């Protein structure tokens, strides 16, 4: 089975269906992992909850986790409706997606590569799994990290990170490609900040796990 994992950010969810159809037209099975960052932050602020990120990953309290689940649920329904009858909405904590807790971030987990049976079965039956990135616990999992862990665990051919930026920007230009070692050096040197950090780290892990990784127009090479 040739599989592509598509990670869709909360800001670009509306265009995900077109991306899925393009990949299916290439003869690939597709698994979607989505975030809901803007929606979560907006609702947390509305409820008076502090919004804190460390290294691009959200610090998550028990109250914030309720917001996370609600936002994921709403966006999951929206994405499945856009993709159509082939879409199957799934929550990671309900299908056996596991993670190691990161105590300094609260109820947050670092996902462990795996192949949850529900995803494997859905793909075999021709469905497009649309996965909300929660892990057993439950733990909030950064969607980039979750997508990379599933791509490696499922033995995907490609992983595509779709966001509202064209790719990895270096010197004001979009890089065509970036070596994994170079990416880590640049991250360590503080050249990147915010959400691109976990995205790039996830792409590096996927690439080193044998998956062709792309952040927009930038290929991340092992």
| Mean pLDDT within 188-196 | 88
86 band by pLDDT with thresholds 50, 70 and 90? very high
Domains belonging to the chain, first-starting first, are 3-165 (3.40.1160.10)
Distance CA 149, CA 54 (A): 20
E strand segments, the chain:
3-8, 29-34, 53-54, 57-58, 87-91, 99-101, 109-111, 128-132, 134-135, 139-140, 158-162, 169-170, 173-174, 177-179, 212-215, 218-221
pTM of the model: 0.95
pLDDT of residue 4: 98
11 band by pLDDT with thresholds 50, 70 and 90? confident
Residue of higher predicted confidence among 93 and 195: 93
User: Across the strands, what pairs with 173?
Assistant: 170
Residue 210, pLDDT > 90, answer yes
Longest pairwise C-alpha distance within the chain: 46
Query: What confidence tens digit (pLDDT) does each residue in 12-60 have?
Result: 766 889 999 999 999 999 999 999 999 999 999 999 999 999 988 999 9
pLDDT of residue 175: 93
pLDDT of residue 67: 98
| Mean pLDDT within 66-89 | 96
Query: What confidence tens digit (pLDDT) does each residue in 94-121 have?
Result: 999 999 999 999 999 999 999 999 999 9
pLDDT of residue 14: 66
Residues of the chain with pLDDT > 90, as a percent, come to 87
pLDDT of residue 13: 67
pLDDT of residue 9: 81
1 band by pLDDT with thresholds 50, 70 and 90? confident
pLDDT of residue 43: 97
């Amino acid at each position: 089975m040739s599989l592509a994992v598509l990670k869709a950010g909360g800001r670009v969810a509306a265009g995900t269906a077109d991306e899925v159809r393009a990949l299916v037209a290439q003869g690939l099975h597709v698994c979607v992992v989505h975030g809901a960052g803007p929606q979560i932050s907006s609702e947390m602020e509305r409820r008076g909850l502090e919004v804190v990120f460390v290294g691009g990953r959200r610090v998550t309290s028990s109250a914030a986790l309720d917001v996370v689940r609600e936002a994921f649920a709403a966006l999951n329904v929206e994405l499945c409706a856009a993709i159509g009858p082939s879409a199957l909405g799934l929550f990671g904590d309900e299908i056996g997606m596991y993670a190691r807790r990161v105590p300094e971030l609260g109820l947050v987990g670092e996902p462990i590569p795996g192949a949850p049976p529900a995803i494997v079965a859905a793909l075999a039956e021709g469905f497009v799994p649309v996965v909300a990135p929660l892990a057993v616990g439950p733990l909030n999992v950064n969607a980039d990290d979750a997508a990379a862990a599933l791509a490696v665990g499922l033995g995907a051919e490609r992983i595509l990170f779709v966001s509202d930026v064209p790719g990895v920007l270096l010197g004001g230009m979009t890089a065509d490609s970036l070596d994994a070692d170079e990416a880590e050096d640049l991250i360590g040197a503080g050249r990147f900040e915010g959400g691109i950090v976990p995205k790039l780290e996830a792409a590096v892990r996927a690439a080193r796990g044998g998956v062709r990784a792309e952040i927009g127009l930038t290929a991340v090479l092992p």
